[in-house]
A and B are shown apart, each in its own frame.
Chain A
């Protein structure tokens, strides 16, 4: 008997996803698919709008990482207003944006770790769902919950000071930024009352990482064995190969670490990357043209970034990076759940960058915007917390957007997420007749490792409860479970 198991929608993933699993009569997993059910709309409805609205309009895609969209759009518009392709801004413009972005990274990664993934590590993938959440953490490890909330708050305050609002600000404008940092704001972040200051954030980020490493040391087998599969990895890197989340050249490496995309200028991304449409999904599948549809897919996000970058330009994170790299003998890391490890190293890096930037007097400068010869087209890339984010706009003679193309991180990770789900389903569901809550959550853990923002990938909002439906080969519903 062939069974079709449907898990929908996925919980603790922003947005709406659905997993279908097909089993043959021996109980073998035949096929798994992660369906993203909503449709894309933003690329269409920015058409006709004046170009300078894009950074404030398109960020509405997402309530978790709007800053990434805000900045990627602004970077694309820098090109359009003739401010260069990334290095042309004033020091104040560039550094204020960086501060905004690293603040965003810090809060988003903290949210992911403490609210979305720590419950799984603390209570187990098959732990009681009633407490396997942030409330459970607050009850059993209140200090951890407080850290999570305060780290998020610190990052959001940085965003407020740079973008004007914690969510959906207006700070980045074509060619620069609309405000500098006041001395009062800076001092508040540097010397604010405990725990809301930059030094404390660095030490808390280190503690969170140590917490994960401790957990890892006693659960190595489980973590390493979970959805481990080879892949290509893609991200921006600084020209010298350093990890850079705001700007750089585009690099991809294969599973052995060989460069397969050689530090290209991302204005030319269409020469190297193509998006495949598959009939069963609304979300496209990007791949590297040079390698082709079958094997050209890649991962983006924390795991990928630490695979493409050669070093991290802040000391504490660099030290951790070396320990982390040693686990795979310097080769690319393909362990799905090491995504969390990598994410925490990045969190530490973000805290260090924020602290260092705050000490930079350029943030207080008054030279905010540059403009040059107007261009018709521009591409803006940024490393969003969940991975590389592409914004591409073309305008007409009247300053209206006539074409927009967005490739969001979750779209970049479409194929690897599908593969991860497949690996997990094979490992835990093969031959099983009954779908337990633990199994359901394991599938979700695989998806959640990528921290997908399904709403941003597909541009819908909201979270819904989990539902699993089990069908026989004639599509008869034989079981349905809801969480």
Chain B
């Protein structure tokens, strides 16, 4: 049996290898599906739901769903985009995201998705939660106001023995991702840079690195998120 399978996204014929997740396969075929918690090369967990698509009338997260032969995926439709916009809005109201003074502005994936889905103002009430800023580390600042709990830092920032430098704390509504107190000493300037880069928002900031990259030179200043993916 050939390893190649055929499937469709929004009616467009696509082809991929068996076993690939829909987001990856879409990308190979030049189709952009938004993601936040997902990172290429890291086992997906499907926590943010921004990559939601519709298959056979059911909503599924495309970062965790492998493509099946003949599958028909609905992604860039009014209904799905409306849903994604709601998710973006919910993320905005559940934290304190003040883009104007955020170092990540222009490089932030959440902000970029807000623009992509033309969020003017969230339709949900702001929660204005009281959150902490942890600046104890010599290399990073962890600003809980902006964390969207995507776990990308937990999954990718590890010491030489493979231990995650970031960890969950508390549960339910109080759940937080924090710099693990015991492993905090393992943080290096290089890991700090990587953590800031891997965080989709401005929750991890490298110390003393602020606004060095001018407006106009940032990733999403001139082009929308996903616009580099070409059909």
Contacts and interface: CB of A to CB of B under 8 A. Distances in A.
A86 interface: no
Q: Is the interface of A mostly helix, strand, loop or mixed?
A: loop
A291 to B, nearest CB: 38
B210 interface: yes
Interface of A: 48-50, 52-53, 55-57, 60, 81, 163-165, 168-171, 173-174, 178-179, 369, 398-400
B103 interface: yes
Contacts of B133: 48-50, 400
B178 to A, nearest CB: 15
A169 B208 CA distance: 18
Contact of A53 (B103, B136, B216): B103
Given A50-B141, A53-B210, A168 B100 contact: yes
B231 interface: no
Interface string B196-216: 000000000101111111111
B210 A165 contact: no
Chain B binding site: helix, strand, loop or mixed by DSSP? loop
Contact of A399 (B101, B207, B211, B215): B207
B229 interface: no
B141 A399 contact: yes
B211 A178 contact: yes
A173 B141 contact: no
B137 to A, nearest CB: 8
A60 B213 contact: no
Given A50-B207, A52-B103, 7 more contacts: A50-B210, A164-B214, A164-B215, A173-B212, A178-B213, A178-B214, A400-B133
Contacts, number: 58
Q: Would you list the 3 A-B pairs with minimal beta carbon distance, nearest first?
A: A52-B210, A164-B215, A398-B135
Interface residues of B, number: 18
Contacts of B210: 50, 52-53, 56, 173-174
Nearest to B217: A179
A60 B100 contact: yes
Nearest to A57: B101
Contacts of B215: 163-165, 169-170
A57 B96 CA distance: 14
8 contacts: A52-B103, A81-B208, A165-B215, A170-B215, A171-B214, A174-B208, A174-B210, A399-B207
A399 B103 contact: no
A280 to B, nearest CB: 32
A369 B211 CA distance: 12
Interface in B82-100: 100
B172 to A, nearest CB: 25
A170 B214 contact: yes
Contact of B208 (A49, A52, A60): A52
Given A50-B141, A164-B216, A399-B141, A56 B211 contact: yes
B100 A56 contact: yes
A399 B208 contact: yes
A53 B210 CA distance: 7
Interface string B103-120: 100000000000000000
B40 to A, nearest CB: 30
Contacts of A52: 103, 208-211
Given A49-B133, A50-B205, A399-B141, A179 B100 contact: no
Nearest to A169: B215
Contacts of B100: 56-57, 60, 168
Contact of B135 (A169, A171, A174, A400): A400
A165 B213 CA distance: 13
B101 A60 contact: yes
A49 B103 CA distance: 12
Nearest to B141: A50
A17 to B, nearest CB: 26
Which of A48, A165, A398 has the most chain B CB atoms closer than 10 A to its own CB?
Answer: A398
Interface in B103-154: 103, 133, 135-136, 141
A165 B100 CA distance: 12
Nearest to B98: A57
Interface in B177-231: 205, 207-216
A398 B134 CA distance: 9
Contacts of A399: 135, 141, 207-208
B212 A178 contact: yes
A355 B85 CA distance: 47
A80 to B, nearest CB: 10
Of residues B103, B207, B214, which shows the largest number of chain A Cβ atoms within 10 Å of its Cβ? B214
Contacts of B141: 50, 398-399
Contacts of B205: 50
A174 B208 CA distance: 9
Contacts of B103: 52-53
A170 B213 CA distance: 9
Contacts of B136: 398
Contact of B211 (A60, A170, A398, A400): A170
Nearest to A177: B214
Contacts of B212: 173, 178, 369
Nearest to A368: B212
A477 B212 CA distance: 57
Nearest to A162: B214
B208 A56 contact: no
A214 B175 CA distance: 69
A265 to B, nearest CB: 26
Contacts of B101: 49, 53, 56-57, 60
